[in-house]
Amino acid sequence: MKRLKTFGCVFFFAAVVGFTFSCISTGESLRPGAAWYDTNGRWINAHGGGVMHHEGVYYWFGEHKIAGWAGNKAMVGVGCYSSTDLYNWKDEGIALAVTEQSGHDIEKGCILERPKVIYNPKTQKFVMWFHLELKGQGYTAARFGVAVADNPAGPYKFLYSSRANAGVWPLNITDEEKIDNSAEFADGQFSGGDDDVARKMNVIARDFEGGQMARDMNLFVDDDGSAYCVYSSEENGTLHISRLTDDFTRHSGEYVRVFPKRWHEAPAIFKKDGRYYLLSSGCTGWSPNAARSAVADSIFGPWVELGNPAQGRNPYTGMDHSLTFGGQSTCVFRVEGTDTWIAMFDIWRPENAKYGRYVWLPVTFTADGYKVIWEDEWKLK
Ligand code: GAL
């Protein structure tokens, strides 16, 4: 009996140690799709995120979600974590907080998604952009929002939100597409994905004066220091790539349409050896679909679509490449000083939003484009 008790105590102790250890980040590797914890042993809460490198430190910004369905609205703001090795993430707190102020653009309960941060060396400011939907208006506002900070982890100060490039035509539009034919579709409902109304309507002409819709988005800084925003526009039917002003806080008015009526979401642009690459998804809301990839020799195109770059299967979701491992892209970034690019995906969990998971995988470049191949566990070289 005594031996049994001792065994029980030892077992219990080992289980507690084991559990505590597994709750603290893995420390030495990346385990896509597993439960990820920060250096305090808490669930990493940075969804739809992006990683920025600054002076030897990586900063991971993302949607800080609460548990349950309510977490699909912004109840807290944008979270930030920091790391020097990309394995161990320290909670830096809330970088941009939503406000209790009624009627404010980023009032608690708005939808604030896919925050991304870039550094502007001229102004020495960190500039955050995100997709913003005003409180109580579903996904109809379709705006981008901008906030700035003096320090990478914040606090960020909200500047403004808006639709994009009002009163300016893109560089690559035809005269036919400039005709506002929206009256013909006055009763039409948009599904947010590929539908007949959005396919036939010149949404860009409808929105010319008020500004173009800006939903899923990302930022990209080119080698010459110019920054761009890529976003799903025109009822999600068409991507826009838009150059930002020198201070990175506004659209410059110089932009192009990419893949008209191809319904791309979750775009991420990256560059290797002078070539531009795009990773994106189709439009199926929180449900996964097949990832997409594209390549171009110039940021403004022409862009050539290459197909689904995913390969392999996620054992946690049981989903393979055809559903992007159960994930949706959110960012691709370079590991400083190396030839490794990391593609980040979210495994959304809308019914319990906080507990969505993360899939980070290395990008494998090929002669034509690239692949993102599943690994259960991997290390940086
Ligand atoms: C996805 C989008 C997410 C979120 C979601 C809402 O397609 O990528 O960021 O907006 O729809 O249903």
Q: Model confidence over 157-182: pLDDT tens digits?
A: 999 999 999 999 999 999 999 999 99
Whether 379 is in a domain gets the answer: no
Indicate if the pLDDT at residue 14 is higher than 50.
Answer: no
Q: Where are the alpha helices (DSSP H) in the chain?
A: 2-23, 196-200, 203-206
Whether 190 is in a domain gets the answer: yes
CA distances from 101 to 65, 97, 106, 131 (A): 20, 12, 9, 19
Percent of the chain with pLDDT over 70: 93
More confident call, 195 vs 102: 102
86 C-alpha to center of ligand 1: Å? 26
325 C-alpha to center of ligand 1: Å? 17
Neighbour tally for 183: CB within 10 Å = 8
Q: Using CA atoms, how far apart are residues 149 and 139, in angstroms rounded to an integer?
A: 27
User: Residues with Cβ within 6 A of ligand 1?
Assistant: 48, 113-114, 216, 265-266, 283, 285-286, 328
pLDDT per residue as tens digits for the range 83-99: 999 999 999 999 999 99
Instruction: From 371, 193, 375, select the one nearest 289 (Cα to Cα).
Output: 193
Ligand 1 atom at minimal distance to the Cα of residue 72: 6
Burial 55-93 (b: 16+ CB within 10 A, else e): eeebbbbbbbbbeeeebbbbbbbbbbbbbeebbbbebbe
Ligand 1 atom at minimal distance to the Cα of residue 284: 7
Q: What angle do CA 39, 67, 82 make, to 5 degrees?
A: 25
Ligand 1 atom at minimal distance to the Cα of residue 192: 7
Indicate if the pLDDT at residue 70 is higher than 60.
Answer: yes
Residue of 69, 73, 113 best suited for mutating to test ligand 1, as the one with most atoms within 8 Å of CB: 113
128 DSSP β-pair partners: 117, 147
* pLDDT, position 240: 98
Indicate if the pLDDT at residue 2 is higher than 50.
Answer: no
Residues in Cβ contact with 81 at an 8 Å cutoff, skipping those fewer than 6 apart? 38, 44, 46, 59, 60, 89, 90, 91, 92
pLDDT per residue as tens digits for the range 213-268: 999 999 999 999 999 999 999 999 999 999 999 999 999 999 999 999 999 999 99
Domain count of the chain?
Answer: 1
Q: Average pLDDT, whole number, for the chain?
A: 94
Tell me what the mean pLDDT of segment 267-296 comes to.
Answer: 98
Indicate if the pLDDT at residue 102 is higher than 90.
Answer: yes
Instruction: For 233-291, give the DSSP string.
Output: ETTTTEEEEEEEPTTSSSEEEEEEEESTTS--EEEEEEEETTEEEEEEE-S-TTS----
Do the Cβ atoms of 129 and 52 come closer than 8 Å? no
Whether 202 is in a domain gets the answer: yes
Which residue's CA is minimally distant from atom 8 of ligand 1? 266
48 C-alpha to center of ligand 1: Å? 9
CATH code (residue 37): 2.115.10.20
Ligand 1 atom at minimal distance to the Cα of residue 111: 10
Tell me what the mean pLDDT of segment 29-41 comes to.
Answer: 97
288 C-alpha to center of ligand 1: Å? 10
Which residue's CA is minimally distant from atom 5 of ligand 1? 285
**Structural domain boundaries enclosing 23:** 8-373
Ligand 1 atom at minimal distance to the Cα of residue 48: 9
Q: Which residue has the tokens 């974590």?
A: 81
Q: Band the pLDDT of 351: cuts 50, 70, 90.
A: very high
pTM: 0.93
Residue of 72, 139, 216, 279 best suited for mutating to test ligand 1, as the one with most atoms within 8 Å of CB: 216
Which residue's CA is minimally distant from atom 11 of ligand 1? 285
Tokens standing for residue 347: 């495994």
Residue 58, classed as helix, strand or coil, is: strand
The secondary structure of residue 25, as a DSSP letter, is -
Whether 175 is in a domain gets the answer: yes
Tell me what the mean pLDDT of segment 320-346 comes to.
Answer: 98
pLDDT per residue as tens digits for the range 285-316: 999 999 999 999 999 999 999 999 999 999 99
Residue 23, classed as helix, strand or coil, is: helix
